[in-house]
Amino acid sequence: MLSIAHQQLSRIMRPDDANIVGNVHGGTILKMIEEAGGIISTRHCNTQSGDRCVAALARVERTDFLHPMLIGEVAHVSAELTYTSRHSVEVQVNVMAENILTGSKKVTNKATLWYVPFSLQNVDKIIEVPQIEYASPEQEEEGKKRYEAQKMERLETKERNGEAIIPVISPEEYTVGFSQSSLIHLVGPSDCTLHGFVHGGVTMKLMDEVAGIVAARHCKTNIVTASVDAINFHRKIKKGCVVTVSGRMTFTSNKSMEIEVFVDADPLVETAKGKYRAVSAFFTYISLDKDGKPLPVPTLKLETQEEKKRFEEGKVRYLHTKAKRQAEQERQQ
């Protein structure tokens, strides 16, 4: 039975939704809350004639996590439309954790979200929201107060929103610093073998991801992996580690870029062990145009002695590979 103004999502919590101890990540719950809110407000804003639209999240009110949710429990997320202004929709969401083995249930979250509907014909145009009916004038009045309060706060935060976390010296285009990138990844159950070690393939996928971002930042086109130099896996990475994967460009030829990638593992809880370098490797990327043909690559701008040294080393690797490939081709003819 489907109601326009009510929506429930339910899902079993899996190992990938949780940390090693079995507590479901707050982020998993926030994602389900927003999915329920997005469905209910998009459905509501399309109950009138005129442009079709999609509701975009504009604001989430303060949300408390009242009880931890565990792997194996069923999360029930129920959303309800509670207020409509001319251009926005308020949705209230309750989350309940049900243990289907013991039958116990507990409320884990209550959240309030605001959505704004955008036209699909013109994605910058905001649509008028069909008004809902209220059980009483008091209910409408309270909704209006909540609407005015959040509107004020949204304007305030918009102003003080320019700060950066690490003061970036905004590096010049085509320098090493400009395209340099790193990501952190919390190792989850799906990344590991049955015995708690990260699959080498998972590590390589993260390395390629970082290398690809470095390459795309440098040449701003469609880029693809051309080759990976030999990779040595010096030390195993264990479940529960935070992995930092960093990449920097070392060399550019006319049509290729070489990116060096480092993987550092940090056993969050067992601090005695400390952070260690687990893997490093060189990835080569090429840049492609719309028909999949290779494009010229902007030359890397070198600023320090270190960068110049690394560039020369990259050139040696490049010429060595090129010579090897030519020799192979000649042998095959």
Contact map string, positions 58 to 97, toward a second copy, x by CB under 8 A: xxxxxxxx--x--xx-x-x-------------------x-
Contact map string, positions 173 to 212, toward a second copy, x by CB under 8 A: x------xxxxxxx-xxx-xxxx-x-xxxx-xxxxxxx-x
- The window from 32-40, 85-93, 134-142, 293-301 that contacts a second copy (CB under 8 A) reads 32-40
In the complex with a second copy, the residue whose CB is nearer, 140 or 266, is 266
Local structure of 110: helix, strand or coil: strand
In the complex with a second copy, the residue whose CB is nearer, 188 or 314, is 188
Residue 327 C-beta: closest distance to a second copy, Å: 15
Contact 215, 223 (CB under 8 A): yes
Local structure of 170: helix, strand or coil: coil
Backbone dihedral angles phi then psi of residue 209, each to the nearest 5 degrees:
-65, -45
Local structure of 223: helix, strand or coil: strand
Residue 211: which H helix or E strand, with range? helix 200-219
The active-site residue out of 191, 208, 266, 291 is 208
The active-site residue out of 19, 23, 94, 99 is 19
46 is catalytic: no
- The window from 84-92, 135-143, 261-269, 294-302 that contacts a second copy (CB under 8 A) reads 261-269
**Could you identify the residue written with the tokens 């010296």?**
169
Which of 242, 253, 301, 318 lies at the binding interface for a second copy (CB under 8 A)?
Answer: 242
19 is catalytic: yes
Residue 121 interacting with a second copy (CB under 8 A): no
Contact 303, 258 (CB under 8 A): no
Residue 58 C-beta: closest distance to a second copy, Å: 6
By CB atoms closer than 10 A (0-12, 13-18, 19+), residue 330 is exposed
Query: Amino acid letter at 197?
Result: F
Residue 203 C-beta: closest distance to a second copy, Å: 8
Sign, Cα dihedral of 294, 296, 297, 300: positive
Residues noted as catalytic: 19, 208
